[in-house]
Amino acid sequence: MLVHVNDKNNFEVVPLNSFEEYNITFEDSYTFRHDRENNTWITTDNGLYWFNPQANLFRSTPIRRFNSHKNLKADVTDIKELHNGNILVSTWGAGLVEYDKNFDPVNSPIVRQGLEKDEGMVWSILQRYNGDVWRGHQDGWLYIYHAKSNSTEKIQLPVFRKKTIRQIAEDRNGNLWFGTQGGDVIKWVAQSDSFYLAKKMNKMVKRLYADNKGDIWIVTEKVIKLNADDDSMMHEYVPLKADGRHLPSPDLNDIKQYDDSTFIIAGEQVSILNTNTGMFRYLSSNTGMPSDYISNVVISKDGNPWMSTENGIYVRNFKTTVSSTFGPEDGLINSKFANAASCLLRNGTIIFGTNRDILSFDPLKLYSPEFAPPHVEITAVKLFNKNLLADSILKLKRMEVKYFENSFVFQFSTLSFMWKYNTVYMMEGIDKKWIKSSSSNEAVYSYLPPGNYVFKVGAPDSKGNIRNIVSMPIHIEAPIWKTWEFYTALLLLGGLIIWRLYKERKKHWKNILYMRSTIGKDLHNEVRTTLKNISALSEIAAIKADSNQEQAKDYIREIKQKSRRSVIAMDDVMWSIDPANDSMNKIIDRIYEIADTLTNEYETRIDIDIDKNVQHLRFSMKERLEFMMIYKRAVLLLSRDSHAKHIKLDLDKEKGGLSLKLFAEGTLLSEFDQKVLKSVEEIKTRAADINAVAEIQSDASGTAILTVIHHKKQA
């Protein structure tokens, strides 16, 4: 397969079937197509391929020396742009290589002389203002290329203790600082050409950096700032946790100054230090970064920090918070970046070192500060994982679904294969702010409540403004039990129930008042009759007191009995209307109390057997009064009026009510005794008043009285 290269005006052969990653492999190709972004799509017997030579904005330059076609396999350790515009690269194992501005290897005296002096394990490079090039080497060796004499000096000073010189930096006074594998920071004073130990860190020095004022920052497992004039420590920042006051981790790699008061520290996560406040902000995979491990930071000419990570290159505009990530699909083939190996060229090109080459790119071609965001399209809509026709739905005024159809998946895209843009989305009615989409460009909303929503998706511009918004209104119908009609019906029904309860309660209290009034009237009539009888008997007794004292005494005894009966009757009525006696337990206690009283008074033994199931029954005030009066009248009928010696009482729960059974063995009721007849009549009358049934049977074997009260639940 041939590709025409316009700037060279010739064809170049595309290597096929090389079996390397990201190469094209096929036996036969069938069709070629170009899209609106000039991407070339090729159908082959091995699948579909696409590429765009114009979009290959990352350039990988192998480690190669002048007049050699052999690519050297070595880790890049440092990169520096020399005064003449050439690019000098140090490696661990292959020494130095030098390129011109077009990244072609050049015949460099620095490289050549270094090789002659066995320069292979190089860690750091610095060129001074006079053109001299200093390099830190393994085992404490220092290589110095003297530009004036075009010669290279190789020295190993005791102050370095044969420790690898990993870093070199130059302060505002023209003095050099060296960081070693053993944790020593050595200072070379230019004026006296002397070396001395300036700071002992006890940990490997990973980075030395001179800020805009020429002071020195040292990165080990912590970060400290030294005064370039007197070597004093100005600030110290230690790792602990991401609490705003500490570094989140001791795993640190690089540091760069962003502005007068802001420094970016890279390693495990990114820490953004405000030197005015001493406070940190943090960036990580939780905030949209492609990885939590950052090896290099470079501030581009337009002021944006570019960072090399395990999963590609990341750029973030700190003013707008807009960010982008570049990976293999953008032409970035190798992401195995070396730590603290980067460079910003004077023309704005950024270079990162890797484990086998150097990666260069123009940041303005990748990330324009004034780029226009693309149109975003909703490409798929899923309802409970069932694909819907997105085009048809977008033509509707709104998408309407049932209340149980409330889990959505939206997929969207800029439909750009050449560039990767950030997209954001939100669901009005759920989300309060825009949400940055993941690499899958997918939004998931599960079990949305009934209501009106609008799904929106768009793309941010360089200032963070959301443009080209596409909207999809959605209405989730409420179930019948969540509609206002249903709530209205519930309110009406509730009002009706409350009104009905009020009416029943009112009726209940009227019945209670009626019962109390009736009871009061009966009590009043009984008391008045008793008082009349007492009054009449008193007058008769007074008359007989002089003429017939014995008869007068009889009248006085009768007055006493009537008075006592009246008091007892009043006590029975007051007990019955007391709400505290509503429970069946109180009635049972009253039964025992009356039985004990009558036993003592008439010498009649009363045996009581009560079914425990009756304890759960409740009666109205009227039923309670009449039941107790029936019970008391029946016991008096048998004990006082019929002189029974033994009464057996059974209180049982019958189906639908309560049964009271009294039996006096060997007791026969007199058919001619007016008291007996009156008592029998009273029992039946009181039973009828509460819809109860009273039966009395008497013969030679004994007398039985049965009363059954049909129970009704009380409101």
Instruction: Please check whether residue 164 lies inside any domain of the structure.
Output: no
Do 261 and 342 lie in one domain? The reply is: yes
Q: Residues 375, 376, 377, 379: is their CA dihedral positive or negative?
A: positive
Q: Using the 3D structure, point to which of 424, 458, 478 is the last residue of a domain.
A: 478
pTM of the predicted protein model: 0.61
Structure tokens at 416: 């750009």
Is the confidence at residue 66, as pLDDT, over 90? yes
Highest mean pLDDT among 141-150, 363-372, 595-604: 141-150
| Residue 208, strand partner residues | 218
Instruction: Please check whether residue 655 lies inside any domain of the structure.
Output: yes
Distance CA 667, CA 472 (A): 96
478-514 residue pLDDT tens: 888 877 888 888 899 999 999 999 888 888 777 767 7
Is the confidence at residue 21, as pLDDT, over 60? no
On the CB side of 85, CA atoms within 13 Å amount to 7
Do 695 and 610 lie in one domain? The reply is: yes
Instruction: Please check whether residue 94 lies inside any domain of the structure.
Output: no
Q: Using the 3D structure, point to which of 430, 459, 478 is the last residue of a domain.
A: 478
Q: Using the 3D structure, point to which of 478, 502, 517 is the last residue of a domain.
A: 478
Do 445 and 472 lie in one domain? The reply is: yes
Is the confidence at residue 22, as pLDDT, over 60? no
116-132 residue pLDDT tens: 999 999 999 999 999 99
Based on the structure, what is the number of domains in the chain? 5
Instruction: Please check whether residue 455 lies inside any domain of the structure.
Output: yes
Do 281 and 335 lie in one domain? The reply is: yes
Is the Cβ–Cβ distance between 156 and 140 less than 8 Å?
yes
Instruction: Please check whether residue 220 lies inside any domain of the structure.
Output: no
Local confidence band at 711 (pLDDT 50, 70, 90 cut-offs):
low
Angle, helices 584-602/621-636, rounded to nearest 10 degrees? 20
For the chain, the first-to-last Cα distance in angstroms comes to: 96
Do 615 and 661 lie in one domain? The reply is: yes
The residue range of the domain holding 244 is 238-367
Any idea what the CATH number is for the domain that residue 296 is in?
2.130.10.10
Do 573 and 597 lie in one domain? The reply is: no
Is the confidence at residue 322, as pLDDT, over 70? yes
- For the chain, give the mean pLDDT: 87
Instruction: Please check whether residue 596 lies inside any domain of the structure.
Output: yes
Do 407 and 512 lie in one domain? The reply is: no
Name the strand (E) or helix (H) holding 220: none
Instruction: Please check whether residue 196 lies inside any domain of the structure.
Output: no
Any idea what the CATH number is for the domain that residue 446 is in?
2.60.40.10
Do 362 and 387 lie in one domain? The reply is: no
Do 406 and 302 lie in one domain? The reply is: no
564-573 residue pLDDT tens: 666 666 666 6
Do 280 and 355 lie in one domain? The reply is: yes
Do 363 and 249 lie in one domain? The reply is: yes
The 10 Å CB-count burial string (b at 16+, else e) for 555-591 is: beeebeebeeebeebeebbebbbeeebeebeebeebb
Do 632 and 705 lie in one domain? The reply is: yes
